[in-house]
A and B are shown apart, each in its own frame.
Chain A
């Protein structure tokens, strides 16, 4: 794979979102909570007179705790809805130096669901996130 990746930290791990899928990276202003929305949906915010649904990536993965409040959040557009992704940190834009590859044994239960695969960058390997899967949130816990 070639192309630019937006490098982010989620739950202390290095992850990457293909830059082509990222609408912009913004500084989130006030986030308004949505009562009764799924836990991983932090709330609504606004960007240039458009509503954003703010999603906490750590919770969307089904991991404990919540993302550290990073100053900036990548914004993606899925099916006409804008989502702001809360991550621990937005690092930089890096170039992919390898194809996306699978790793034998997978990436772990929570990560596997949202992973395209692994990619090498100048700073080491990173997990490429399938944002569409990520924003669907953790699967409902079977009773």
Chain B
């Protein structure tokens, strides 16, 4: 891992050295040439930046010194005389030597860096001698320091492209040949070698693909160390959070964005995140959060780097921009907030008045933007004062593999990026329900109504309403943006090579790219975020970075509980609370195994305990068995069913069951009594890590209060409590309505949580909570159980 990075570092530095070699000579001839100066400045800046990853104090000191001197020249505080040029060249020579030694794994070359650095000083007296000495050293060492044989080679990407396109052609030719062979009839003497050819081709194709692709993790891996070092230098506390490390992109692309991302992270820690004392004073956690996420969206990758620091100071930015004559005061006055924040990307802009070792002098931002734009990407910044800053980097995947679901309408295929797909379902499934509100199609899925678009209407091909003859693809855009697209057919999930589309086609705003399937037919990839946005299904994409806790969905006072009906293997209908059903799977009968009363099933490479309700399940081989996957957020159970029913909302309370403890009660559905399985009993019996009900803390709820039994009970149960029945004398915790004094006085034991209808009457410290403060209630319950848990454990030990 570290070796990889080191290799990258050496290779990159060498490449840059080669690139600026000419510039150095030109600069020497004409020290006032600003473009050359900038180029050399960027080189030493980058070397300094990269040293942050590694422990190379000498390189860092050298490059920092050169950078400081060049920065003075850039800001016209110093004239680039020949003495300075010589001193800079001497430092670059020394950097070359050290890098050479690192590459060869040898001892660092001897030499006094202090002397070189001192020579940079404006009042250094005699540099001529230094340089002469250096030059002599260079000649003598360059002969003995012949670079070691390379362990890897660098190839031009065009060559890889050519090989890749050649292999794709080979696949098409093979497919064509396969069709002809099929038509000609089977011939074993040809089939064998042909299969072998196909196998080899598949391998080669995979290898070629891998050659170019790299998980963005490769980039992420180096970040924690960087963050640690930078933040400890600055006495700040920073936590990094990554997501999307599995996103793959072009190796070359990763290299191109490595520097910009490094710059942005340094800047975020240096200028964004405040010192712990400042953060505490501002009411924030003392540890700053730095979140880095990557997401593939069509043929682009979006990287978001956000911090929850102080945000950008637009007043300071504006003032600085005017004083450095980037813009006039009049222009500034006319600018929007966003336009002002974007000034930080202007060349020659910097807000840091103090020179710091971490992010330098703001040189990064214009370089960052230049580098991103060079590869056809874009960078945007948004910032809220006091809440944080977010940088959005969009970069293209000129050639990228994306996992996609192929679907079709009206006989034509389209691809949907798998990353958006939550679930797929048959429109005719019992638990899917279509409805319309105005002209909008809705579909009821897992008990909630979500908007449903028909791909026909999106594309304008045979417009129609969503119906049960279609298939549904459930898509998730943001955290809460869920919608469905109905299609005629769902085909396959495959890895596709996405190519950009012609501008005229991109204009339509519903396609993100195109790809060729194995049979050579082109397929369009749908641009899901854009489609969602066009239909108003995307909430504001800008998440507020300061919001540390995920927002709880609002509790709506819907007067029902949703049950899922199913038929057990004894042929009788039963129901189970929908809140327990995590998903529905179909598994072959062979996946089940039973030993005595215990059963197990393998689903997606995990072994789940099987809950057995009734009826004989032994004769299942050769069949596809529907399985309800139940979860209590602690462990999972598989409940095989003979037949799936629909989901129903019930408004009446269950009639309690008298004797059967497996049954929570009986529900009246369509005039028929249906036993409702007690999910917690199931988990107690079959769950591997579930807590047996007897050990669970008991919570008493307000009696005869429909809101309490419908809304509170599931919440309390989910927090790990057993709901007190009327015959329970003891309750560990009692939840009471504030105006229900009777219950308050009859509470015999345990903690009391009071529910208020008026938010203003809730205290901050005691357990009185506003009716709709779901998170407050959950944390109060957790607090109680944590406290009692300790007591109980201590008591058990004595």
Contacts and interface: CB of A to CB of B under 8 A. Distances in A.
Interface of A: 30, 32-38, 40-41, 44-46, 48-51, 53, 55, 79-81, 83, 135-137
A1 to B, nearest CB: 28
Interface in B513-543: 514-516, 520-522, 524
Interface string B493-523: 0000001111111011011001110001110
B524 A46 contact: no
A50 B508 contact: no
B173 to A, nearest CB: 9
B740 interface: no
Contacts of A30: 521
A38 B510 CA distance: 12
Given A44-B514, A51-B516, A136-B504, A34 B524 contact: yes
A35 B504 contact: no
B510 A41 contact: no
A113 to B, nearest CB: 15
A80 B499 CA distance: 11
Contacts of B412: 32-33, 35
24 contacts: A32-B412, A33-B412, A35-B412, A35-B460, A36-B458, A36-B459, A36-B510, A37-B508, A38-B507, A41-B502, A46-B516, A46-B521, A49-B168, A49-B172, A49-B516, A51-B501, A51-B516, A53-B501, A80-B500, A81-B501, A81-B503, A83-B502, A135-B502, A135-B504
Nearest to A33: B412
Nearest to A53: B502
Nearest to A30: B521
B165 interface: yes
A137 B507 CA distance: 12
B460, B504, B514, B516 — which one has the most chain A CB atoms within 10 A of its CB? B504
Given A38-B507, A49-B172, A51-B514, A32 B522 contact: yes
A37 B511 CA distance: 10
A135 B524 CA distance: 20
B520 A46 contact: yes
A31 B122 CA distance: 70
A81 B503 CA distance: 9
Contact of A36 (B460, B516, B520, B522): B460
Contacts of B514: 44, 51
Interface of B: 165, 168-169, 171-172, 412, 458-461, 499-505, 507-508, 510-511, 514-516, 520-522, 524
Given A34-B508, A46-B522, 8 more contacts: A33-B412, A48-B169, A49-B169, A50-B165, A51-B499, A83-B502, A135-B502, A137-B504
B516 A81 contact: no
A49 B521 CA distance: 9
B617 to A, nearest CB: 47
A35 B505 contact: no
Enumerate the 10 nearest inter-chain pairs by beta-carbon distance, A residue then B residue, closest first: A35-B459, A44-B522, A53-B502, A49-B168, A81-B502, A36-B508, A51-B514, A51-B522, A49-B169, A37-B505
A121 to B, nearest CB: 30
B521 A41 contact: no
B165 A44 contact: no
Nearest to A31: B522
A47 B691 CA distance: 62
B663 to A, nearest CB: 52
Contacts of B501: 51, 53, 81
A28 to B, nearest CB: 12
Contacts of A50: 165, 499, 516
Contacts of B169: 48-49
Contacts of A49: 165, 168-169, 171-172, 516, 520
A30, A32, A45, A137 — which one has the most chain B CB atoms within 10 A of its CB? A32
Contacts of A135: 502, 504
A21 to B, nearest CB: 16
Contacts of B524: 34, 44
